[in-house]
Structure 1
């Protein structure tokens, strides 16, 4: 939990803040009509951050950071016969090595997504204020108007599913790797690729089911 959650807060904070700021500038750039109030910038940025950007972008970044580490760690243990030694001693290797990682994924990733939501919306506020694309009062009015709390539920369901994918897929790839250092590196790369594709597919399925 410390590695997955606390160790990833800094990375998630930087990415979320800048994505929120960039989103505000892009939305403001696309608002070419004077009949559309600028408060819509805050509303669009809020809903985009909560429903899509924070869960999905955070999950893809974490798949690269955490997934490769999990796959390499377990894969190295497999090729150096440490897992075989655990099984000879009567220890349930998957329960001992994989289960704690999955539990940390499904508990800490939703927390990271909540942090990402807050910082993404805050980044939009900062970016809009500095650039002059939207005034602070208009942005705050936008993010507080017509807010639907159900969007938070959808985002957390996505985060729970993504957390399971980020930890289970790399653990599987590492656990069943055979060979040496080259095979471990290939399994690590394969784990990240499969995790990212699975995240995008599940993102679509969860959105289709809940919205």
Structure 2
């Protein structure tokens, strides 16, 4: 009986938090179209997010291309289908593996950073001081960060995909004596707009989810240093779960749309 009550209580808290997050998103869409527009802060956040994540995304993409090709090559070799390697790797990375893996990497870097930063500002009462001084902290802190994450994540994913394909081409060049020119010719022959467009569109939603959850957890952080850690940790957990939900919906819709 006690366990049942505890489970029901957890479900209640979960749905309450979903409602608060929805209201937070509604407030974002209201504030984003109202004046004043914080362009300087937006550009600063875009630069910080992209600059600090570039190396991590590049290394992740390169290793992703290497490992995926090394693991797939023996299986294709058994069926005499090694020539299909560039097509299979490029379609897999561009459609699904690249956007999801890189979004998860950026979740750990960007969403947790936003949660910790805003959580620290809430704990040290900097957000309260902004409200008292007449500044809109939601506009300055939240809107700029969500927009920056939404705009920068697609660029990071494209960069990671390119590096991943280069890593795959390097393996094929060393193990299969395939030139880089031939490899990328096969890649561009295999990739279609029906592969690129859905992946690009859902990457914007990935960025929005990363910024939204990170800002939500940090902006409403509980008092104390423990609350900052919880905000950072829960931002990563909630965002990761939300990314998989968005990915499922995006794949489902794109399959219906392009099948028609």
Q: TM-score range by the shorter chain?
A: over 0.9
Given that 2:91 and 2:190 are in contact with CA atoms closer than 8 Å, whether structure 1 keeps it comes out as no
- Match of 1:87? 131
Question: C-alpha separation between the residues in 2 aligned to 1:160 and 1:179?
Answer: 32
In the other structure, the counterpart of 1:190 is 234
Bigger shift: 140-149 or 168-177? 140-149
Larger Rg: 2
2 CA distance for matches of 1:79 and 1:143?
A: 50
Q: Deviations over 1:137-164 (max 9, x none)?
A: 7634531333312211111112100101
Q: What is the alpha-carbon distance in structure 1 between the residues aligned to residue 208 and residue 84 of structure 2?
A: 34
Measure, in 1, the Cα distance between the counterparts of 2:245 and 2:137. 30
Check conservation: 1:21, 1:128, Cα contact below 8 A: no
Give the secondary-structure state (helix, strand or coil) at the position aligned to 2:65. helix
CA positional deviation for 1:27? 1.6
Deviates more, 1:3-12 or 1:134-143: 134-143
- Report the equivalent of 2:223: 179
The residue number in structure 1 matching 2:79 is 33
TM-score, length of structure 2 as denominator length: 0.76
State the secondary structure of the residue aligned to 1:90. coil
CA 1:17–1:181 in 2, change beyond 3 Å: closer, same or farther? same
Partner of residue 27, structure 2: none
**TM-score, scaled to structure 1:** 0.93
TM-superposed CA distance for 1:68, in Å, is 1.1
Partner of 1:5: 50
Superposed, which structure 2 residues align to 1:16-95 within 5 Å? 16-31=61-76, 32-34=78-80, 36=81, 38-95=82-139
* 1:209 correspondence with 2:253: yes
Distance 1:138 1:83 in 2: 55
**Pairs aligned (count):** 208
The 3 A distance-change label for structure 1 pair 89 and 158 is same
Shift of residue 115, structure 1, vs aligned partner: 0.8
In the alignment, which of 188, 194, 200 is matched to residue 244 of structure 2?
200
CA contact (8 A) 1:105 1:166 kept: yes
- Tell me how far 1:91 sits from its aligned partner: 1.6
Mapped contact 1:67–1:170 kept (Cα < 8 A)? yes
Q: Secondary structure at the match of 1:178?
A: coil
2-side partners of 1:46 and 1:33: how far apart?
19
Q: Which residue number in structure 2 is paired with residue 167 of structure 1?
A: 211
Per residue, is there more helix in 1 or in 2?
Answer: 2
1:182, 1:140 → 2: CA distance?
Answer: 50
Q: How big is the shift at 1:30? A: 1.3
2:145 to 78, 89, 101: 101
Q: Greater relative contact order: 1 or 2 (C-alpha under 8 angstroms, separation 6 or more)?
A: 1
The answer on whether the counterparts of 1:42 and 1:138 sit within 8 Å (CA) in structure 2 is no
Question: Where do 5+ consecutive residues of structure 1 fail to align?
Answer: none
